Structure 1
Amino acid sequence: MYFSGRPNQSRVIALAVVLLLTPWLYRFSEGRFFIPTRETNESWEQKTIDISEPTEIPSPTSKTQSSSNPTLPEQSMIKSPPVDWASKHHEKTIVIGKIKTEDATWVQTHLSDWRPAIYAVDDQDDTDYLHVSVNKGRESMPYLTYLIDYYDDLSDINIFLHAHEDGWPRAWHNEPQSENYSAVRMLQLLRLDNVRERGYVNLRCNGIPGCPGELHPNRKKFDKGAIEPGWKKLWFHMYGNTSYPTAVGVGCCAQFAVTRDKVREEPKEFYIKLMDWLLTTDSDDPSRVFEYFWHILFGMPLVHCETDYNACICRTYDCGADKKRSIDLFNNLA
């Protein structure tokens, strides 16, 4: 059973009273409220760009084909957000999951115009952050927790990001690959108009790894550690469908932007059902399963890969008024 981190109305009022009487109100007034990310420091070799044409595979015709009815979450004692969240309209929110060894203060320092939704996934006593019910599935747990708990209070644009501010190799997945792989620079350049128009945008244009078709779920046998067995379980759990696609592809690494309207194309129960699977799955690495599922959940084709890297960069990020080549804008690292 998933335990929600969002309080009911009476708890919000009670919390407001407590906050007014406690010395740490100042910490909230300063905006010190953050969220968690990946729980491992993976080292990858730097890849070159080689993106092929996508395979044309239709998306599922219905996202609600299943006989399983998820149970609505119960209230819990998980730390709630600042009391002013519900009373304000927020244009944009950054959703992050972090572990104890990761520093997410860069969000407040450099991106103070964003609402921070930062989850401390492995420390329930950390009073500066939101919390999840259990530390499982890396970024998938805080992502889903936010989608469920704030389904009725989503920002216009919601960014799902890892906790790494910059640096190679820990932030190798950040795009554009400039200024030391800076997540701050990435969001400063992000074209919000493009996100609003498309509904869902992968923040990484580089399709290596993940494209053009990283997974082949319709196969019968898989190597040890393959993602496909877990992916097939999630597919069946959500859609009740055993007609598995021949290929699934998307540029890694589960960092994306999605609008409120796109999220709400599915009811809250849809995301609760995803959480049910995450909490109960025996898959070795459910976060990798979700990495190849987020784009499908938000209405993209099964193979969602860019064929023109530079065009993707200047569509996703601001290349400047003079429309200079991305190879120049990103210091020859694009």
Structure 2
Amino acid sequence: MSKKSVKLSVLAAIFISLVYLATDRVWPAIKYHAFPRPRPALLHELQHPSPTQNNLTVNLVVASTAEDDISWTDKLYSRIPNLTVLRYVSDSQTSGLHPPVAKGREALMYFTYLHDFYDHLPDISIFVHAEETPWHLEGTLLQNTSFALSQLDLMRVVVERRGYFNLRVTWRAACPAWIDTRKTFENWEKQEEPYMPQAWAANFDDPVPDILAGPCCSQFVVSRTAIQRRPREQYERSMKWLVETSWSDQIVGRVWEHMWPWLFKSEAKDCAPERESLCRMYSVCFEDDRQLEAYKELWEERERLKEKVSFLRASWAPRTATEARKKMDEVGDEIERQLSRAWEDGRASKAEAGSLR
């Protein structure tokens, strides 16, 4: 065989191999990711403006950086009547709303709002991060802030005794005891523990509780009454401390995660049962704890399956990815079925019990 023939044979083999890879591996991966299976628009089916909230005024305080995209908040105007979105930008002093300095993570932005708007507060203030799908919102809320806020019963925040509600309801190991303020720099278990006594003393005159507990992660809703339960000087004091402290942003953010319940309702533990909070505040009502745990297991299984259908994994192992896609679709269908049932049960329960108003 001539050299020319050998060269042509090699080129032909390479071409055939590339065609095989493209059709058997790459194209299926592209097709799946570019044209996913249509699914019911569960997010939009469940969201609805509640007629019981029509008379409430609401400020959505968004802690952001200049590069964050918060366009997702636009959809909330049709779902939360009388809503005003206030975007604070930590790293832009030319922004309309910004903290005094670029530090303190969301805490300094929140306190800037609490101080500046103290005399002009709406009925309800909601404090969130800029991301629509943060990890710290649960699968029972579709891990989606706009969904959670659309489902949230704001009137309950107003009528309940303390007027404060953490948007995250899952606490798992965080209750009944999470932060031990007696820990020192020699024996701490959570990084922020040894900082808590000093942070507490800098922000409050109250004795430091031994134990702090509750869900993370500095996203919550609070009534005007709860905010004004503290004098404006309290918020000015915390602003000043955040500006002047030499602690890292990470530590500052972590210590404040555990102090919001005390600030607004003078409670060191915020440990309402998860299923009860979901039903009471979001109208997502699972029949019992077993049903809730089964749903959460499905959500976690879907998250694990997502890794197996990534573009690179699908290109390298198409058969495995195909099986994972099929399983993920089945799990997704069951998630939608169970969440829809929990939502319908919540609507029925609320209708049966009648209005709180």
Letter in 2 for 1:183: T
Letter in 1 for 2:234: F
User: Which has more radius of gyration?
Assistant: 2
Deviations 1:206-233 (Å, cap 9, x if unpaired)? 0046333221112344449721233211
The 1-side partners of 2:224 and 2:84 are apart by: 14
Shift in alpha-carbon separation, 1:165–1:120, aligned structure 2, 3 A: same
Q: Is the 8 A contact 1:176 1:186 kept in 2?
A: no
Structure 1 residue 266: deviation in Å?
1.1
Q: Is the 8 A contact 2:171 2:271 kept in 1?
A: yes
Give the gaps of 5 or more residues in structure 2.
Answer: 1-54, 296-337, 343-357
The 2-side partners of 1:213 and 1:225 are apart by: 12
1:172 alignment counterpart: 135
Relative to its length, the structure with more helix (as a share) is 2
The 1-side partners of 2:158 and 2:283 are apart by: 15
Structure 1 residue 240: deviation in Å?
4.0
SS at match of 2:63: strand
SS at match of 2:283: coil
Deviations 1:108-143 (Å, cap 9, x if unpaired)? 2433542111111112334xx522211111110110
Q: Pick from 131, 137, 146: which aligns with 2:113? A: 146
The 2-side partners of 1:209 and 1:164 are apart by: 25
Question: CA RMSD of the aligned region, Å?
Answer: 2.7
Q: After TM superposition, what 4+ stretches of structure 1 lie above 6 angstroms from structure 2?
A: 322-326
Structure 1 residue 318: deviation in Å?
2.1
Q: Equivalent residues in 2 for 1:148-163 (5 A)? A: 148-163=115-130
Letter in 1 for 2:154: L
Q: Is the 8 A contact 1:230 1:283 kept in 2?
A: no
% identical aligned pairs: 30
SS at match of 2:174: coil
The 1-side partners of 2:244 and 2:126 are apart by: 26
Structure 1 residue 200: deviation in Å?
0.6
1:204 alignment counterpart: 168
Is 1:266 the counterpart of 2:230 in the alignment? Answer: yes
Letter in 2 for 1:230: Y
Structure 1 residue 293: deviation in Å?
0.4
Q: Is the 8 A contact 1:218 1:245 kept in 2?
A: no
Higher RCO, Cα 8 Å, sep 6+: 1
TM-score (structure 2 length as normaliser):
0.60
Is 1:255 the counterpart of 2:219 in the alignment? Answer: yes
Deviations 1:29-71 (Å, cap 9, x if unpaired)? xxxxxxxxxxxxxxxxxxxxxxxxxxxxxxxxxxxxxxxxxxx
Between Structure 1 and Structure 2, how many residues are aligned? 234
Structure 1 residue 300: deviation in Å?
4.2
Is 1:316 the counterpart of 2:278 in the alignment? Answer: no
SS at match of 2:211: coil
1:228 alignment counterpart: 193
Q: Equivalent residues in 2 for 1:92-103 (5 A)? A: 92-103=58-69
The 2-side partners of 1:315 and 1:300 are apart by: 22
1:69 alignment counterpart: none
Give the gaps of 5 or more residues in structure 1.
Answer: 1-88
TM-score (structure 1 length as normaliser):
0.64
The 1-side partners of 2:275 and 2:340 are apart by: 11
The 1-side partners of 2:340 and 2:125 are apart by: 24
